[in-house]
Amino acid sequence: MRIGIIGAGERGRIAYARELNKYDEVDIVAAVEWNQDKLKLTGEEFGIDSEYLFDNADDFLKKMDENKFVDALVIATYDREHYDITMKALDYDVDILLEKPISPNAREVFNIAKKAEDRDNVFMICHVLRYAPFYTKIKEVLDSGAIGKVININHNENIGYFHFAHSFVRGNWRNEEESSPLILQKSCHDMDILLFFLGLKPKSIASVGSLTYFVHENQPEGASDRCLSCKYQDECIYSTKNFYRQGYRGYGWRNLVNPSLTEEGLIEALENGPYGRCVWACDNTVCDHQSTTIEFEDDVTAVFNLSAFAKNVHRNIKIQGTKGEIIADDHEKEIIIKTFGSSEERVIKVQEMNGGHGGGDAAIIKAFMEGIAGDKDKIKTGASESVMSHLMCFAAEESRKNNKLVNMEDFISTLNKEN
């Protein structure tokens, strides 16, 4: 199976291509990446012929028009590049794995989903949580009826202060105009997992949130706009002086900051590149906290809280039903089931697979391969399953920006008319 990677960054190359390359039947034969250092590394890692290394998607697609040289594609470019590339890719007889979000534009989401549904090939969105053992186990407990009918869910995504600073203040997803709103980029995962757990349609959404802390007004007096020239570099919790070095929390992202992984390259990147900027002196526009209330069918309600202000990167959830409740935290890898009328608690410790998202990255690649082999039941995140999570995020932004309750039926009807 010949596979091409369009967007050879942290998700495309490191998360997905490396997992795919573990399969004997897979050969990574092509890559598209505008960053020359990353493109070179990708070519070397997977032994790709230089003829099939491209620094732009247009040249890749033109060559595909001449001769289809891949059987499957991973599309993991910047959010706003997804639409044109995916719509063209859907014209080929290839299987496609598309990184979330589908698009930051609602009409584009509809168009991609509609075109994908008319094909026999596999088309999957990377909502990896549906495949992660921790969340599949919660789904299994819910489906068993252990806590009765679900009435309410309280779900929290704790981004982690250091992760937020890296990705959403300094990084690629800091500015809504260049990427997408925070709730879409980071949390269409979470809207999708609520849909997965409940199997119900959302009826209304209300959301509030803002960019409160990571603004210029909060920059310490006398601070530099760059960490390495700042008098606070040894005491500021957001300092990048050592952040990307071994033993510190950002080491896993070092290759994104400086693909060469040299000391000289890292210093140059922090002195001149986006990841060395003061967190209070960036061009970030996305929220640093947001709370969303959702009413589903059958009078089920959910509150979703998204926040930068957490020590660890994790999700925790409390699901309340008519016969009991579930309290779960993916950092602790523990699911606690409390049944009404009983003093006993059932505790499930989930053994996760290796890899990102608690094994979700590896599991979605496994499902992708099984789907291509003919087992379409393994595909949980096709076009039709993934659209609603995106619409919920768009509706949340409509609510937040206009301070109103959004009726989902009316909201979708308006989008359909516009489309």
82-89 vs 57-66: helix axis angle to the nearest 10?
10
Q: Is the pLDDT of residue 26 over 90?
A: yes
The predicted pLDDT at position 71 comes to 96
Residues of the chain with CATH 3.30.360.10: 130-214+285-418
Q: Strand pairing partners for 329? A: 316, 334
pLDDT score at 382: 85
Under a CB-based contact definition with an 8 Å cutoff, are residues 153 and 317 in contact? Answer: yes
With both helix axes pointing from N to C terminus, report the angle between 106-117 and 383-402 in degrees, rounded to the nearest 10: 170
Three-state SS at 360: helix
- The residue among 138, 156, 133, 146 whose CA lies nearest residue 302 is 156
Report residue 243's pLDDT band, with 50, 70 and 90 as the boundaries. very high
The mean pLDDT of 372-377, rounded to a whole number, is 88
The pLDDT score that the predictor gives to residue 187 is 93
Q: What is the mean pLDDT of the chain?
A: 93
Q: Which helix (H) or strand (E) holds 134?
A: helix 133-143
Residue 138 is predicted with a pLDDT of 97
18 has a pLDDT exceeding 90: yes
Model confidence at 78, pLDDT cuts 50, 70, 90, reads confident
Query: Which range (95-99, 107-111, 318-322, 360-364) has the least confidence?
Result: 360-364
From-to residues of CATH 3.40.50.720 in the chain: 2-126
Q: CATH says 130-214+285-418 is which class? A: alpha beta
Contacts of 109 (CB under 8 A, 6+ apart): 101, 102, 103, 387, 390, 391
Reported confidence tier of residue 47, pLDDT bands at 50, 70, 90: very high
Residue 176 DSSP one-character state: T
CA 65 to chain centre: 30
Q: How far is CA 197 from its chain centroid?
A: 18
User: pLDDT tier at 20 (50, 70, 90 boundaries)?
Assistant: very high
Give pLDDT, residue 354: 64
Residue 127 DSSP label: -
pLDDT of 119: 86
Mean pLDDT, rounded, for 135-159: 97
What pLDDT score does 170 carry?
97
Position 140 pLDDT exceeds 80: yes
Mean pLDDT along residues 220-233: 97
Is 90 exceeded by the pLDDT of residue 383? no
Task: Average the pLDDT over 307-311 and give the result.
Answer: 97
What confidence score (pLDDT) does residue 355 get? 64
- Identify the band that residue 351 occupies on the pLDDT scale cut at 50, 70 and 90: confident
Residue 61 has a pLDDT of: 95
Q: What would the pLDDT profile of 315-327 be if each residue is shown by its tens digit?
A: 999 999 999 999 9
Which range (55-69, 190-204, 252-266, 294-308) has the least confidence?
A: 252-266
Phi, psi of 4 (to 5 degrees): -110, 145
In this predicted structure, what is the pLDDT of residue 419?
A: 64
Q: What percent of the chain has pLDDT over 70?
A: 98
The model's confidence at residue 381, banded by pLDDT at 50, 70 and 90, is confident
149 and 322 in contact (C-beta within 8 Å)?
yes
**Stretch among 209-218, 252-261, 296-305 having the lowest mean pLDDT:** 252-261
Segment 355-366, tens digit of pLDDT: 676 777 888 999
Class level of CATH domain 2-126: alpha beta
Torsion sign, CA atoms 195, 84, 306, 207: negative
Average pLDDT for 62-90: 94
